[in-house]
Chain A
């Protein structure tokens, strides 16, 4: 079975500063990895995904993530955040070839002026 750990429940940051949201996963098989974002009172939407190939994945809104197999990590980064990036971010993992996603507990990103 797969599991996901998001170590930070909340990350405060100032506008235009860089940010990294951490995600570690556990799996005995090959995995797909995802980051989703949830804005207040909305459903989740996909930010980016790693299925195979290049370990650096670029997503929407200037976010990117790097798959590190040796460290079983998939950290999300943005070089300069905006107020509008304030949201909750979820890392998720699934075994390759199977559709059941396991989500982390989420990291709330708080961007202040």
Chain B
């Protein structure tokens, strides 16, 4: 019963480095999302996907890219990390009722 799995769970980067966060879900959900969580700001949507091969921008997409080559995976990339991208990142997936199933989060620190 894995649900939504995020890797890695922790990462420290230097400014300018790149990295990819991987999200995998085993519930056959069509919809997948990447959120970031910052103190006092709740969760903000970065990018989302409504199906394999599709992606769309959310509320705060700048500095991030995503890909959904397989239905079960949703990748979030940072091409050139900045300190402002220090955050906790959550992946989620859903079917058609809007109920999201979340991963446990990936804590990223950019120095």
Chain A contacts to B: CB under 8 angstroms = 6, 9, 32, 34, 36, 41-46, 49, 51, 90, 94, 99-106
Tell me whether chain B's interface is mostly helix, strand or loop, or mixed: strand
The 5 closest A-B pairs by CB, nearest first: A43-B102, A105-B42, A103-B43, A103-B42, A44-B102
Whether the Cβ atoms of B58 and A100 lie closer than 8 Å is: yes
Q: Which of B41, B48, B97, B100 contacts A44 (CB 8 A)?
A: B100
Interface size class of B (residues with CB under 8 A): 20 to 34
Whether the Cβ atoms of A99 and B103 lie closer than 8 Å is: no
Specify the chain A residue showing the minimal Cβ separation from B32.
Answer: A99
The residues of A that contact B100 with a CB separation of less than 8 Å are 36, 44, 46, 101
The residues of B that contact A32 with a CB separation of less than 8 Å are 97-98
**Which of chain B's residues 69-111 have a Cβ closer than 8 Å to chain A?**
90, 92, 94, 96-100, 102-105
